Amino acid sequence: MSLHSKEAVGVRYTGWAALGRDPQEDTVEYNCPYCGERGMKSARRTHDQYHFTDGFLQDLQGEMAACRSCRHSLRIAPVVMLHDQDEKRRFEGVFSTELVSSN
């Protein structure tokens, strides 16, 4: 058990997902690694801080967040940018193990 913040994989939707949405509402979604609650925060980092890694545009440095449910602080890393349904499906296949390992 480490004193460092736990990490969660974040997802930032763009492209199709941003259609019909306020363009100012650019959010990163994640599942809290402490309580499993779904959360979101405003994306702080610009697109040029994302780089292609393992077939996805990712921000490996990530962002800090605090869970609104259990108040733990956590680190969202990597943040994966997804452009369409196809990428979303591929992402869920690749990251499914990380997404469910929440304790």
Give residues in contact with Zn ion (CB under 5 A).
Answer: 32, 34-35, 37, 67, 69-70
| Closer Cβ to Zn ion, 69 or 96, answer by number | 69
Least distance in angstroms from the C-beta of 47 to Zn ion? 28
| Closer Cβ to Zn ion, 37 or 86, answer by number | 37
CA–CA–CA angle 83, 79, 16 (5° rounding): 15
| Closer Cβ to Zn ion, 8 or 57, answer by number | 8
Least distance in angstroms from the C-beta of 32 to Zn ion? 3
